[in-house]
Amino acid sequence: MLEAEMAALLRAVLDEVCADLAPSEMAMRERIAARLGDLARSGQCSVDDLKRAGRNVLTRAPTMWR
């Protein structure tokens, strides 16, 4: 996949996963973005895998962040 296409895919998945986050929750958005980037670099870049990973970050956040 071309770099620009991957960036667009990651942005779309990030926006979808973070749609319900408050604007003040930038740290969580950054954690999700980092996880998505890790997966993309490892070659696991199907849309379903990326969405699942992003949602896992949301549900497994440390309790002090909830």
Using one digit for the tens of pLDDT, what is the confidence trace for 30-62? 999 999 999 999 886 789 999 999 999 988 866
Task: Fill in the amino acid letter for 60.
Answer: R
Residues with Cβ within 8 Å of 65's Cβ and at least 6 positions away in sequence, in order, are: 27, 28
- Mean pLDDT within 25-31: 94
Contact 58, 32 (CB under 8 A): yes
Give the pLDDT confidence score for residue 37 in this predicted structure.
94
- Which DSSP helix (H) or strand (E) runs through 37? helix 26-42
- Give Cα separations from 27 to 1, 9, 14, 43, 58 (angstroms): 28, 21, 13, 25, 11
> Is residue 38 within 8 Å of 24, Cβ to Cβ?
no
pLDDT at 51: 95
Domain boundaries, the chain: 3-65
pTM comes to: 0.83
